[in-house]
Structure 1
Amino acid sequence: MENWVILVVMSLALLAMGAEEVTYDGRSLIIDGHRKILFSGSIHYPRSTPQIWPTLIAKAKEGGLNVIQTYVFWNLHEPQPGQYDFSGRYDLVRFIKEIQAQGLYVCLRIGPYVESEWTYGGFPFWLHDVPGIVYRTDNEPFKMYMQNFTTKIVSMMQSEGLYASQGGPIILSQIENEYQNVQKAFGEEGSRYVEWAAKMAVGLKTGVPWVMCKQTDAPDPVINTCNGMRCGETFTGPNSPNKPALWTENWTSFYHVYGGEPYIRSAEDIAFHVTLFIARKNGSYVNYYMYHGGTNFGRTSSAYVITSYYDQAPLDEYGLLRQPKWGHLKELHAAIKSCSTTLLEGKQSNFSLGQLQEGYVFEEEGEEGKCAAFLVNNDHVNIFTVQFRNRSYQLPPNSISILPDCQNVTFNTATVNTKCNRRIISPVQTFSSADKWEQFQDVIPNFDQTSLISNSLLEHMNVTKDKSDYLWYTLRFEHNLSCSEPKLQVQSAAHVVHAFADGTYLGGAHGSHDVKSFTLEVPVTLNEGTNNISILSVMVGLPDSGAFLEQRFAGLTTVEIECSEESYDLTNSTWGYQVGLLGEQLEIYEEQSDSSIQWFELGNTTDQTIVWYKATFDSPKSDDPVALNLESMGKGHVWVNGQSIGRYWISFHHSKGQPSQTLYHVPRSFLNENGNILVLFEEDGGNPLHISLNTVSSTNIDDTCLNNH
């Protein structure tokens, strides 16, 4: 059969399957021959559960979105080289098919470096131990593993027919992620890596375009895209006149760290900058990052990032509408779509309407050519009246009016018609009865109980291999010298330390997201002869960004005993190490944990450290989302029925004296009707008797929104 005949037959077969050709030019993506203005929202499948994916997608669609965007999380899917996991919350194919079933498109950001406030930027930690590896540069070992995983994902999507070229929903793929932030650190090798990554991705022949975000030198045919809050102002534009202006991350809030306060971005501000991007930059694709943030279950959040993720997004952590943000953006999307053909086909012009005012007009050709206009007031304080086409228009401060017909205002970014709502937390059960609790005191190891020995302080992450947040450093210190007023001084580049002498707690200290190292100095009682010093080093997530991630150092850097007379440097003494806690080794949090574990009645709840607590509870009767209020706890980790609902750190207060997070989401799919097992590991003296189980709902309010935007 002639080649042209084969091609015709294949094309007809693809058309029969509903395949859509996705191309682009300097104006927009072109899907099946049609230009489209696309509104997209980031929803990350492992940050929620398969049971609520359909609801989240449906609410996104109702809000006017036509694309769902997600990263692909390498460390979840390939926990060991060549061993893959796509089950449960990791079922990427199921997630994409659910999006397809609801009639939306997908932007698949394979990366496979994602950052995303996700531990180690999404890299599996085993990469760290590949000989000679340097991440994200022209390094053969890294490129091999990166290409293997990217190919694995693309092949999986192709085998399931999920690319638009096969009749599936995926219209865009992304390779790498904000690489230009680190590119200079790698010099020429960085530039070669960009070229390689683009060529490698395009060579996989997905049939849909590839993008690189924040990458002004993205090689053809890969499209460079903008990330940020103000891409209508900051985007320098596509690096070729044949590429469209795409905004892959419009930050609806900002990630939240322990010791920090939430960032509140108003609905009006988001709407202003979306509209400006479309008007000024000819933008035709805007993605909200995040549209639903969800929950950093387990140990998935990166350094110091709280368990709740982008709770201020249009859909909050629980999947509830956050108003007026969701509703205001829905109105914006409808206004833009009402004139989308004119915006995509018309000729753009702009002109001054005043010192801080400007207009943008899109006009189609011909006598009956349609017209759409945007009237912009950049004055942040004053209302301004402008004249446009013999009509007068009042523009509120810092706003854009949309005129789909160049006459009538159908939407103004600063005029919010959606009522605000507020979250209602309804207590269902308290855990205030001591006889409902059991406890298990974890063991504080000493030097003689450790098997890994070194004559130096080892780097934390390289020892734990990310199997645990916890690493014990133990030392046997022979004290036969004169030492008055002894103090233990520990310098650390981890996140938290707790120090013990002969099993007695001495004290703890921690750093912060912005302070990378810290010092613990505590009095210590030294016995004549042998003293056992045990120091627990703690990571609260691994770093997720920056050049040379594989070279990062965490853990103890110096240890000294300071006396009035002199100091004793123990840094290069003989140290013993233990990875993790005894309770972790025993999987004490599992529903069917080791039957040999002996739980005891609840003892003193005020000062205990390194202790496990267990209780049971029944599920709330309503269908509302469920959350634990852990405001009486200190720092640790919480499980329900063996499922981790994440780290908590209540004792770390922000500048206004409050914890960064007290409510912890328990997905309904984690729960049984009765007899749910709650297990907490507490480091820092928290009191479980004041924990409560709550349902979460929302209600509209007529009052001023205040900070509820």
Structure 2
Amino acid sequence: MIFKKLLILSFILLLSFSLKAQKATHTFTLGDSTFLLDGKPFQMISGEMHYPRVPREAWRARMKMAKAMGLNTIGTYVFWNLHEPQEGKFDFSGNNDVAEFVKIAKEEGLWVILRPSPYVCAEWEFGGYPYWLQNKKGLVVRSKEEKYLKEYETYIKEVGKQLAPLQVNHGGNILMVQIENEYGSYGNDKEYLAINQRLFKEAGFDGLLYTCDPPAAIVNGHLPGLLPAINGIDDATRVKKMISENHDGKGPFYIAEWYPAWFDWWGTAHHTISAESYTGRLDNVLSAGISINMYMFHGGTTRGFMNGANYDDSHPYEPQISSYDYDAPLDEAGNATKKFMLFRQVIAKHLPAGQTLPPVPAAKPTIAINDIKLNSSAGILDILPKPVLNKTPLTFEDLNQAYGFVLYHTVISGGKTGILKLNELRDYAVIMINGKKAGVLDRRHNQDSIKLILPPGEVKLDILVENLGRINFGSYLLKNKKGITENVKFNGEEIYDWKMYSLPFSHVNSGTIYKTKISVNTPVLRKGTFRLSKVADTYLDMRKWGKGVVWVNGHNLGRYWSVGPQQTLYLPAEWLKEGNNDIVVFELLKSHVSSLCSRKTAILSELQ
């Protein structure tokens, strides 16, 4: 009996010691010229990688690649519109499990820089804001406006529940947390920044907080008392001068976004920057003792409808592509590039004495799949849900719809020719007359009008509108509603009495009835299956198709568009299975196409 009690006591003591060891806290503080981790100088060599842009099943593999390149830290944003897609309904499950992402990083020996912001930019839909904020009359994002601050506080406290316990001072691996995001490029309200700081602290983020801004905006965006990190420059002398001028003459010196590449948008050339042009710059920065966060180390893919867009008065609307390859050191599928290998060589020169880099994992295997048939189809006009009726067109927001498509239907008198005008179309419309495609309008080209020849009698007018991505940067954040946002006119006379059909395509397989007959000349859903004897990464070749979205085994792979530069969709091995795999394509323009194949390599640089 005594032996049994001693055994139990020993087990309890051992468990207690183990838990304390697991929760061993660290200190992370600001020295005059360097960060101090447990009192010793620490140079962050970090790379940005966003959890929703990588399949959860692949997070660990990507982090092993980060270690192999020499990174000691991972940076990530936190995306409000993922975690609170509808007001008051929070989701931290599956690919949204950011706490698990941080914990896996710890298991892989990586620290984390956290950027909950809540504005992220990031070439992400609405800069990370949930669409429903726009339904609150008078709400102004990035301001002291009361409704905004109330929603912001609710969000950041939910994030705090998930992530505040994972800070270094609580036994975790989050070194530092960023408030706001390049705010100086947007405004200069220090009271607003101070409210950010207070909300973060109240949410449990009681470690180091910092701000980040490009050089021209650092004065506007810096909050006295916090470290002012800098984005977009890597001249060591200039970096140190600008940070110290805004931080009581001291460091540490941190480049929060160091760009070894850039992102793409539809209809423009793929952006690439040679590795050789950046190796010397990386070496100089690290030699100067400056800490760095590469934006991006690994871009991944902006799946679903989560790509953002750029727009201001000086250039057209520019929706970003699905691939977020970014010409980063780790490519879209997580394989090492030439840039990875050359950066690894540079970083190896700056490792602490006695430390060596792990070997680089081999490139992942790929497969090509031939002749995938999609013989079942459903025309968009045959699968409409129950409509909402209104005298004038309603926006996506009016319909409480975040993303996807809305079909606007009405009946007008025919027997005439004229100009159909959609005022403030956002963003892409397929016009149908009596169930047949009559043309398209594209906001990228400032198109809002089309000449129509209407047959005699009553004419069915259908307008399928796609949200191509809300603006993620600049003053137009406040003008981000989607759909037909004003009115529709024919020959100058306003058209009334609309039916609106919401088509968010949150789930593509539920309830749709497919047939084997061909649906011609209207947007169409096509469905098929393909069998695999082994699974591996692959790239769906969409060059025969026009414009649309693809789902495989229920996973939304993102948008394709023949204009390029992206012509393939990355399909990760983690989402395939041996045996039958389901595929659905929603095609807007080429309803007759009914097959596709896949390749072993991506096509990201082909404009049509």
| TM category, shorter | 0.7 to 0.9
CA distance, structure 2, for counterparts of residue 534 and residue 636 of structure 1: 18
Partner of 2:166: 162
Mapping of residues 533-548 of structure 1, within 5 Å: 533-547=461-475
| 1:287–1:686 Cα change, 3 Å | farther
Give 1:219 shift. 2.0
- The normalised TM-score by structure 1 is 0.73
2:252 pairs with 244, 253, 260, which one? 244
- C-alpha distance 511-677 of structure 1, shift in aligned 2 (>3 A): same
Match of 2:406 among 432, 450, 471: 471
- Distance in 1 of aligned mates of 2:34 and 2:515: 65
**Which residue is 1:501 aligned to?**
433
Give, in angstroms, the shift of residue 632 of structure 1. Answer: 0.9
Residue 179 (structure 1) aligned with residue 102 (structure 2): no
Alignment of structure 1 residues 487-636 onto 2, 5 Å: 487-512=419-444, 517-528=446-457, 530-547=458-475, 549-556=477-484, 557=486, 559-561=488-490, 568-571=491-494, 573-581=495-503, 584=505, 587=507, 589-590=508-509, 593-594=510-511, 597-601=512-516, 603=518, 608-619=521-532, 621=534, 624-636=536-548
SS in 1 for 2:532: coil
Query: The residue matched to 2:142 in structure 1 has which SS?
Result: coil
Q: Distance in 1 between matches of 2:303 and 2:468?
A: 13
Larger Rg: 1
- Equivalences for residues 304-319 of structure 1 within 5 A: 304-319=319-334
Runs of 5+ unmatched residues, structure 2: 1-18, 310-318
Counterpart code for 2:496: T
SS at match of 2:56: coil
Deviation track 1:160-198 (CA, whole Å, cap 9, x = no partner) reads x411112211101111111111105xxxxx332122212
Distance 2:22 2:49 in 1: 31
Distance 1:602 1:296 in 2: 33
For residue 427 of structure 1, what is the aligned residue in structure 2? 368
Deviations 1:200-235 (A, max 9, x none): 334555342111110435223321111125454764
**Identical positions, percent:** 25
**Partner SS state of residue 472, structure 2:** coil
Computed over aligned residues only, the root mean square deviation of the Cα atoms, in angstroms, reads 3.2
CA offsets per residue over residues 434-472 of structure 1, 9 Å max, x none?
Answer: xx62111121799x9843212x444x3423444342222
Q: Which moved more, 1:331-340 or 1:106-115?
A: 331-340
**Closer, same or farther: CA 428–479 of 1 in aligned 2, 3 Å:** closer
The 1-side partners of 2:80 and 2:162 are apart by 14
The residue number in structure 2 matching 1:452 is 389
Q: What TM-score, normalized by structure 2, do the two folds share?
A: 0.85
- What is the CA–CA distance in structure 2 between the aligned matches of 1:577 and 1:211, rounded to whole Å? 49
Letter in 2 for 1:208: G
Q: Which amino acid aligns with 1:299?
A: F
Segments of structure 1 that go 5 or more residues without pairing to the other structure are 1-12, 185-189, 342-418, 562-567, 653-658, 699-706
Alpha-carbon distance in 2 for matches of 1:678, 1:205 = 44
Residue 314 to residue 28, structure 1, CA distance change in 2 (3 Å): same
Distance 1:628 1:602, change over 3 A: farther
Matched to 2:397, the amino acid is N
8 Å CA contact 2:396, 2:402 repeated in 1: no
Q: Is the 8 A contact 1:157 1:163 kept in 2?
A: yes
| Deviation for aligned residue 1:110 | 0.9
TM-superposed CA distance for 1:157, in Å, is 2.1
- Matched residues in 2 for 1:234 and 1:486: separation? 60
Residues of 1 paired with 2:236 and 2:421: CA distance? 51
Q: Deviations over 1:144-169 (max 9, x none)?
A: 221222222223224xx411112211
Pair 1:39–1:449, CA change in 2 (3 A): closer
Task: Give the match for residue 380 of structure 1.
Answer: none
Q: Deviations over 1:361-399 (max 9, x none)?
A: xxxxxxxxxxxxxxxxxxxxxxxxxxxxxxxxxxxxxxx
Q: 1:441 aligns with which of 379, 394, 398?
A: 379
Residues 637-676 of structure 1 mapped to structure 2, 5 A cutoff: 637-650=549-562, 652=563, 659-676=564-581
Match of 2:335 in 1: 320
**Where in structure 2 are the equivalents of 1:97-112 lying within 5 Å?**
97-112=103-118
Whole-Å separation in 1 of the counterparts to 2:238 and 2:364: 34
The residue that corresponds to 2:315 in the other structure is none
Aligned to 2:199: 200
- DSSP 3-state at the match of 1:691: strand
Partner SS for 2:368: strand
Name the CA shift for 1:17/1:539 in 2 (closer, same or farther; >3 Å): closer
Shift of 1:547: 2.9
Aligned equivalent of 1:330, options 340, 344, 348: 344
Change (3 A) 1:231 1:664: farther
SS in 2 for 1:107: strand
In the alignment, is the contact (CA less than 8 A) between 2:321 and 2:566 conserved in 1? yes
Contact 2:379-2:524 at 8 Å conserved across structures: yes
Q: Distance in 2 between matches of 1:154 and 1:317?
A: 30
Give the aligned partner of residue 158 of structure 2: 152
What SS is found at the alignment partner of 1:665? strand
Query: Given the superposition, is the C-alpha separation of residues 537 and 697 from structure 1 closer, same or farther in structure 2, using an over 3 Å criterion?
Result: closer
* Structure 1 segment 259-408 matched on structure 2, within 5 A: 259-278=267-286, 282=288, 284-303=290-309, 304-323=319-338, 325-337=339-351
Report the residue type matching 2:580 in the other structure. Answer: G
> What secondary structure, in the 3-state scheme, does the structure 1 residue paired with 2:114 have?
strand
Equivalent position to 1:227, from 231, 242, 260: 231
- Looking at structure 2, the residues matched to 618 and 555 of structure 1 have their Cα atoms a distance apart, in angstroms, of 38
Distance 1:132 1:492 in 2: 21
Structure 1 residues 24, 627: CA separation in 2 closer, same or farther (over 3 Å shift)? same
How far the C-alpha of 1:337 sits from its partner, in A, is 3.0
Q: Can you list the C-alpha shifts for 1:36-78, whole angstroms capped at 9, x where unaligned?
A: 1111011111111121111100010010000001111111111
User: Counterparts of 2:353 and 2:497 in 1: how far apart (Å)?
Assistant: 69
Equivalenced residues, count: 563
Matches within 5 A, 1:23-62: 23-62=29-68
Q: Secondary structure at the match of 1:647?
A: strand
Q: 1:16 to 1:444 in 2, by over 3 A?
A: closer
Partner residue in 1 for 2:586: 681
| Cα distance change, pair 569–439 in 1 and its aligned pair in 2 (3 A) | same
Quote how far apart the aligned CAs of 1:89 are.
0.8
